[in-house]
């Protein structure tokens, strides 16, 4: 675990996990073995992140420059996972483009009481 990590009461982070800075893991949540939680991720209460899941990888955003060439957009946003959410093993949830608290499509947000099953990939901002 790297600096500025907040782990709620009763939360469990199993062995071989990586938890980056500026991460909040809510009360009673479980991070299964081998999961990677990168910076700027907030996980609500009583949520489960499956084994070897990756939360906070770089998204696939591109724009075209004046010459028509594709240019990568930096993904500086974060990820907000609500309470009572289950993200399955080997799933990948990618950063939003701008900010976790910003407007529509600027962050990746899994609301309350939902489940994303195994090998799910949430690709933000697909190429044009």
State the chain's mean pLDDT as an integer: 81
Give the class (CATH, top level) of 5-122.
mainly beta
Q: What is the pLDDT of residues 2-34, one digit of tens each?
A: 789 999 999 999 999 999 999 999 999 999 999
Q: Which three-class secondary structure state does DSSP give residue 103?
A: coil
DSSP H or E run through 56: strand 54-57
> What residues does 54 pair with on adjacent strands?
36, 92
| Between residues 22 and 100, the one the model is more confident about | 22
Domain boundaries, the chain: 5-122
36: number of Cβ within 10 Å: 19
What pLDDT does residue 72 have?
84
Q: Give the end-to-end CA distance of the chain in Å, rounded to a whole number.
A: 36
Nearest to 98 by CA among 125, 121, 120, 65: 125
The alpha carbon torsion through 119, 27, 57, 21 (nearest 10 deg) reads: -150
35 or 103: which leads in pLDDT: 35
User: Is the pLDDT higher at 12 or at 63?
Assistant: 12
Q: Measuring CA to CA, which residue among 123, 116, 118, 119 is closest to residue 97?
A: 123
């Amino acid at each position: 675990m790297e600096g500025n990590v907040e782990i709620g009461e009763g939360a469990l982070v199993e062995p071989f996990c990586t938890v980056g800075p500026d991460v909040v893991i809510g009360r009673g949540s479980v991070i299964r073995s081998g999961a990677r939680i990168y910076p700027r991720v907030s996980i609500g209460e009583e949520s489960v992140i499956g084994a070897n899941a990756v939360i906070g990888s770089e998204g696939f955003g591109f724009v075209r420059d004046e010459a028509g060439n594709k240019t990568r957009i930096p993904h500086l946003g974060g990820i907000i996972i609500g309470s009572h959410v289950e993200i399955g093993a080997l799933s990948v949830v990618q950063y939003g483009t701008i900010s976790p608290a910003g407007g529509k499509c600027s962050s990746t947000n899994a609301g309350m009481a939902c489940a994303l099953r195994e090998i799910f990939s949430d690709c933000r901002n697909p190429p044009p």
